[in-house]
């Protein structure tokens, strides 16, 4: 009983090895001549520019909102956020301007009602980490062209100040 089982295992291993070798040989053929951003060889060093681009916004209050391109899009952050403190459980600087109680006085758009609890004042914890959805912008040319066009034709209305 033992011997046939061992033989079977050996045969299966050999078949697997041969299978792998043939698959990689047949796979590489149709893709030869295809170049990625790294070049034709996958091991080529990354061609992306090494220097980090600065975010393009200036201090809050000096730019227009960025037009949204689809319904339900979290609006992009038009202003700089580099100088703000990191969001922690006790400190969220974004709320100093965007919380319902502060927005009008700071001249900032009030965060959406979807972000608030039943009292319409406190931010729900699912919406507390603002920058997991709202991102600042860099003025960088796309590395690869694309034809994305949003379905919202007109820029969304400027939020109430
Ligand atoms: C000092 C006040 C202030 C702080 C702090 C602040 N903002 Fe703003 N924010 C503004 C103002 C004012 C605008 C309107 C655009 C402008 O003038 O830059 C704005 C615009 C926005 C918008 C665009 C809204 C829209 O409808 O298009 C988003 C998103 C936003 N801020 C997110 C954030 C996030 C995230 C943080 C924290 C990292 C933050 N803001 C911190 C004042 C502030
Ligand atoms: C889970 C994703 C998410 C998080 C986290 C989040 N937002 Fe939003 N935000 C959105 C979306 C999506 C919208 C578009 C309106 C809507 O449907 O809620 C929005 C809208 C806004 C607006 C524009 C309001 C308007 O009337 O058009 C502001 C300002 C804003 N958010 C600020 C913030 C701030 C400040 C925080 C952190 C306290 C935050 N958001 C956290 C997704 C998010």
What are 41-83's pLDDT values in tens digits? 878 888 777 788 888 899 999 999 999 999 999 999 999 998 9
Residue 161 has pLDDT above 50, yes or no: no
Residue with tokens 């045969």, as numbered in its chain: 11
Which ligand lies nearest the alpha carbon of 75?
A: 1
Round to whole Å and give the CA distance between 57 and 134: 13
Residue 7 has pLDDT above 80, yes or no: no
Please give the distance, rounded to the nearest whole angstrom, from the Cα atom of residue 81 to the centre of ligand 1: 9
Residue 160 has pLDDT above 50, yes or no: no
Half-sphere exposure for 91 (CA within 13 Å, toward CB)? 5
Residue 19 has pLDDT above 50, yes or no: no
Region 122-145 average pLDDT: 92
Atom of ligand 1 nearest to the CA of 66: 27
Round to whole Å and give the CA distance between 155 and 153: 7
pLDDT tens, residue by residue, 25-50: 445 556 677 777 777 787 888 877 77
Q: Which residue has the higher pLDDT, 44 or 11?
A: 44
Please give the distance, rounded to the nearest whole angstrom, from the Cα atom of residue 71 to the centre of ligand 2: 13
């Amino acid at each position: 009983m033992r011997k046939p089982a061992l033989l079977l295992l050996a045969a299966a291993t050999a078949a697997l090895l041969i299978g792998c070798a043939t698959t990689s040989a047949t796979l590489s053929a149709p893709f030869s001549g295809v170049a990625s951003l790294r070049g034709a060889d996958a091991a080529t060093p990354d061609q992306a520019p090494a220097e980090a681009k600065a975010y393009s916004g200036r201090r809050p209050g000096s730019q227009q909102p960025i037009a949204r391109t689809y319904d339900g899009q979290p609006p992009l952050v038009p202003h700089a956020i580099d100088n703000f403190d990191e969001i922690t459980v006790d400190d969220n600087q974004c709320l100093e301007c965007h919380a319902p109680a502060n927005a009008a006085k700071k001249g900032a758009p009030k965060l959406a009602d979807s972000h608030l609890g039943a009292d319409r004042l406190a931010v729900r914890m699912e919406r507390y980490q603002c920058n997991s959805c709202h991102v600042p912008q860099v003025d960088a040319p796309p590395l690869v062209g694309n034809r994305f066009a949003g379905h919202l034709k007109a820029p969304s209305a400027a939020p109430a100040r």
